[in-house]
Amino acid sequence: MAEKSIDHAFTAKSRTSAASDPTFAGALSFMRRRFTKDLAGVDAVIWGIPFDAATSNRPGARFGPQAIRRASAIFDNDPQYPFQRDLFADMAVIDYGDCLLDYGNHQKTPAAIEAQANVILDSGAFLLTLGGDHYVTWPLLKAHAAKHGPMALVQFDAHQDTWLDDEGRIDHGSFVARAVRAGIVDPARSIQVGIRTHAPEDFGIRLVYGHEVEEMTAAEIARMILDHVGETPTYLTFDIDCLDPAFAPGTGTPVAGGPSSAKILSVLRRLGALDIRGADVVEVAPAYDHADITAIAGATVAMYMLGLRAERRATALNF
């Protein structure tokens, strides 16, 4: 036990060091990454936004970041499947904690998220955000577009989130419409996967409906995404309700007829060629979960996003 440590989130001496906490104990940062606000020399940042005041059905996604962090403890220090590597051997990743929000003044929420995201992005780090409901993607997109310009949106979701609003609403179902109208998202290069509802507008975004996902292989879906997006800088957003409720019951607006976690993870695994500039996992609502099924799925999706980043970085550095 001499070489072992615990509470790696606080005791880590390096941002690239492996943890040795038992999966059932220790401080619950995301994948045991060090909790810190120090962005110097950081390659990627995990950040939580505990906000769910924009939900149109069941609330509870404010507890999503906690649940995802807790579920991520299941990832031990062996090379992460299916990447066959220690994701943090050559990639400095920190857990930046959560966004500070005023629960009594929701109209200030979007500006607060955008301002705090800007601080992280100005450091040059890649930002992976844990929601929170899907409204949080709107200020995140604004912050990323300010740095990277207009982006393609790759969205895994049961809903299009293109409902029109008056621009002042705090609503998780309209952020895509806002982003297209603002010129932040390029609809011609954007794609939504797993859609199982209808919205009044699609804004020219490529839709892949739930029944199409069921009929296609993971390789076919991934190839469609890669061909459609091409080399466009991309924001990747994953609403956990993309998955069938059998695989993600803990969410605010579950929709039957979705894909399995295994299939969608297989799709994600094949997206390494995408130029992903930012990403999020949203709508995990643990109050409706069972045995952490949804939280584990959300944590695994987030780990895959980091895995893609680690592979891309390793290729660039010839590791």
Cα 199 to Cα 213: distance, rounded to the nearest angstrom? 19
Residue type, 31: M
Per the annotation, does 157 bind a ligand? yes
With beta carbons less than 8 A apart as the criterion, state whether 134 and 284 touch. no
In angstroms, the first-to-last Cα distance of the chain is 31
Per the annotation, does 148 bind a ligand? no
**Max Cα separation, the chain?**
62
Task: Say how many residues make up the chain.
Answer: 319
Per the annotation, does 227 bind a ligand? no
Per the annotation, does 43 bind a ligand? no
Cα 246 to Cα 261: distance, rounded to the nearest angstrom? 9
Using CA atoms, how far residue 101 sits from 131, 171, 175, in Å, is: 13, 16, 19
CB-based contacts of 201: which residues, under 8 Å, 6+ apart? 162, 164, 177
Per the annotation, does 280 bind a ligand? no
The four Cα atoms 43, 48, 151, 301 give a dihedral, to 10 degrees, of 80
Token pair belonging to 110? 């979007």
* Per-residue b or e along 96-133, where b marks 16 or more CB atoms closer than 10 Å to that residue's CB: bebbebeeeeeeebbebbbebbbebbeeebbbbbbbbb
Cα 128 to Cα 110: distance, rounded to the nearest angstrom? 17
3 state DSSP class of 49: strand
Q: What are the phi and psi torsion angles at 189 (to 5°)? A: -110, 5
Residues flagged as binding site for Mn(2+): 134, 157, 159, 161, 239, 241
User: Binding site: what residues are annotated?
Assistant: 134, 157, 159, 161, 239, 241
